[in-house]
Amino acid sequence: MISNSLETSLREVIPGLEFEVGQGRDAYGKDEGYARMGKDLRPDIVVMPKSTIEVSKILKFAFENDIPVTPWGAGTSLEGQSLAFHGGITIDLRGLNKIRRTLINDFQVEVEVGVLQQDLDKKLRELGVFFPPNPGAPATIGGMISNNSSGSRAVKYGVTRDYVKQLEVVLADGTITKLGTRATKTSSGYDLLDLVVGSEGTLCIITAAVLKVIPTPSDSAGIVLQFKGVEEASHFVQPCLGSGFLPCTIELLDQRVVAVLSDHSPLPSVSGAVLLIECDGNDAESVEKEIQGIAELAHSLGGSQIQIDQNEFKQVMKARKVVGWDIVRASGMKTLKLLDIAVPLSAFGSTVVNVYKILDQENLSGYVFGHAGDGNLHVLIASDSRNEEIWEKTLRAEMNIVKLAIDAEGTITGEHGIGASKTHFLRLEHGYAVDLMRAVKTAFDPKGILNSGKVLPPVSIQEGVDKK
Ligand SMILES: Cc1cc2nc3c(=O)[nH]c(=O)nc-3n(C[C@H](O)[C@H](O)[C@H](O)COP(=O)(O)OP(=O)(O)OC[C@H]3O[C@@H](n4cnc5c(N)ncnc54)[C@H](O)[C@@H]3O)c2cc1C
């Protein structure tokens, strides 16, 4: 009923706009990770604009009629970010999919937000440059900016935020504006661009972005290191980086993840824990030297090299990107509970050890892996939200693991974001600053129509919690 009247009104306001109503909305009622607990999270209507002007008209309409709006990139978020908790309009932005300008002399590219990262990567590599952030899912550029996502190369190349120069955005009332600058540096006013990066669609809708790109390294090589256990592997990261090596990737796999990955790639099924390390550069000899240096350091610290050729290494890295799904299938877990805390490097090894202690205390089984070079740990707890006892234990373990990260002066999420499932942890990490975040939200979105229920905790949760 609501869908029909929304459709009629939107057709009048924006002739030619594409819609999904009825069953077409089902695909927008689930993301890649959020435990829905039986809730229907479909929007009333999905619209597919093809231009910034259409996005502006949709928002103006929603603003005037107090209708909730949820932006949608590719829906690969893991924390419920793109789900319509309050119904209303979901805006699928994949129709804004042009590469507007390649500005190679400035090491920049201007893209619309519906462009997929993998398509942009292909196009840029033909031009000899690349955009380094690489989440393990087929994400849109808009979704990556909104989650400030990163991936396996962040240890050397940083995260999405480091590559966003300028944004074209549509505000809640439909106003179109630009944030940031194409200049290399600026000291001009408050940095609103940085506020919008990572804001998960709660402040405005991004329609286009100027991204920084860098020359593509011509050579790369990888190495697989085996350690007695996850503790020993974790403790290798700091001395490796401290010795002046700068791999682009350092991925940690615990024994259970190794077992799963070896079923889906040429990785041998070895005991203990494994680090996958990749180096790159513009000179094959230097890259090889770096790999050898890392291997020697590992030997001196109790690690050993697993022999695997470079082609096989690439296959292992490809399988590593989607290992989360292979784990879910292999474990038969009913509900995916994935944590992605990040801690300062010096605390990484002890945090890993304490994560296992917490899982053991609750008698839960978990899989531990992550972007070790960034101190970013993924903990996948095998759980079942329909079993009250197991779910309670899972939530308790989650809280204790989150506290580990905060005690180590780390963060509750290194890259996956807050979405709907981590809002209750926000004040633990940010204290009084959550009130400032709420003021920012109100300034951008006075009626609260944009992706409400995400990032900020409900006011009732804030009350009664001590301000730090
Ligand atoms: C197998 C797998 C592996 C993953 N690995 C990684 C990883 O290594 N690193 C990592 O960082 N993430 C990872 N992710 C998480 C996810 O892929 C990323 O966060 C990704 O950037 C989300 O992009 P998306 O296009 O799917 O966005 P969506 O999930 O559709 O949206 C993300 C958020 O942004 C908002 N949004 C989308 N587009 C816009 C826009 N144009 N304007 C304003 N708001 C918008 C949405 O409302 C939502 O809040 C992984 C996910 C999976 C399933």
Ligand 1 mean position to 233 CA, how many Å? 29
| DSSP class per residue in 194-226 | HHHTT-TTSS-EEEEEEEE-EEPPSEEEEEEEE
Ligand 1: residue of 51, 58, 82 to mutate (most ligand atoms within 8 A of CB) is 82
Closest listed residue to residue 220, CA positions, set 160, 268, 293, 286: 286
Helix (H, G, I), strand (E, B) or coil at 41: coil
CA of 194 to the centre of ligand 1 (A): 17
Q: Whose CA is nearest to atom 16 of ligand 1?
A: 77
Atom of ligand 1 nearest to the CA of 414: 11
Residue numbers in the chain where pLDDT is lower than 70 = 1-3, 460-468
Ligand 1 geometric centre to CA of 111 (Å): 17
**How far is the centre of ligand 1, averaged over its atoms, from the C-alpha of 139 (Å)?**
6
Report the atom number in ligand 1 closest to the C-alpha of 159: 11
pLDDT attached to residue 463: 42
| H-assigned helices in 227-309 | 230-242, 255-264, 284-300
In angstroms, what is the span from residue 212 Cα to ligand 1's centroid? Answer: 19
Q: Which residue has the tokens 């600053």?
A: 433
Contacts of 407 (CB under 8 A, 6+ apart): none
Atom of ligand 1 nearest to the CA of 451: 47
CA 143 – ligand 1 centroid, Å: 4
The pLDDT of residue 462 is 45
Q: Whose CA is nearest to atom 21 of ligand 1?
A: 144
Which residue has the CA at smallest separation from atom 52 of ligand 1? 137
* Cα(419)–Cα(216) distance, integer angstroms: 33
* Separation of CA 340 and ligand 1 centre (Å): 14
pLDDT of residue 335: 83
Tell me how far the alpha carbon of residue 138 lies from the centroid of ligand 1, in angstroms. 9
pLDDT of residue 330: 84
pLDDT at residue 460, as a whole number: 58
Q: Residue of the nearest CA to atom 18 in ligand 1? A: 77
Q: Which residue has the tokens 């974790």?
A: 234
| Six token digits for residue 382 | 């095998």
**Alpha-carbon distance 8 to 4, whole Å?**
6
CA of 165 to the centre of ligand 1 (A): 19
Q: Which residues line ligand 1 (CB under 6 A)?
A: 31-32, 70-78, 81-82, 93, 113, 135-137, 139-140, 142-144, 146-147, 149-151, 200-201, 205-206, 322, 324, 415-416, 451, 454
Q: Which atom of ligand 1 is nearest to the CA of 454?
A: 49
**How far, in Å, from the CA of 386 to the mean position of ligand 1?**
26
pLDDT of 206: 98
At 353 the pLDDT is 92
Q: Which atom of ligand 1 is nearest to the CA of 148?
A: 11
Best probe residue, ligand 1, of 28, 86, 115, 146 (max atoms within 8 Å of C-beta): 146
Tokens of 417: 């974001």
CA of 167 to the centre of ligand 1 (A): 17
Half-sphere exposure of 360 (CA within 13 A, CB side): 6
Ligand 1 pocket, mutate which of 149, 161, 202 (most atoms under 8 A from CB)? 149
Map residue 389 onto helix, strand or coil: helix
Atom number of ligand 1 nearest to Cα 149: 11
Domains of the chain: residue spans and CATH: 2-95 (3.30.43.10), 99-215 (3.30.465.10), 219-323 (3.30.70.3450), 331-424 (3.30.70.2740)
Between the CA of residue 95 and those of 22, 73, 115, 142, what are the distances in Å? Answer: 20, 10, 9, 12
Query: What gap in Å lies between CA 415 and CA 410, rounded to an integer?
Result: 13
Cα–ligand 1 centroid distance for 62 (angstroms): 24
Q: What pLDDT is recorded for position 34? A: 74
Mutate to test the pocket of ligand 1, among 31, 32, 76 (most ligand atoms within 8 A of CB): 76
pLDDT digits (tens, 9 = 90+) for 391-402: 999 999 999 999
Q: Are 244 and 274 in contact (CB under 8 A)?
A: no
Compute, in angstroms, the gap from residue 416 CA to the centroid of ligand 1.
8
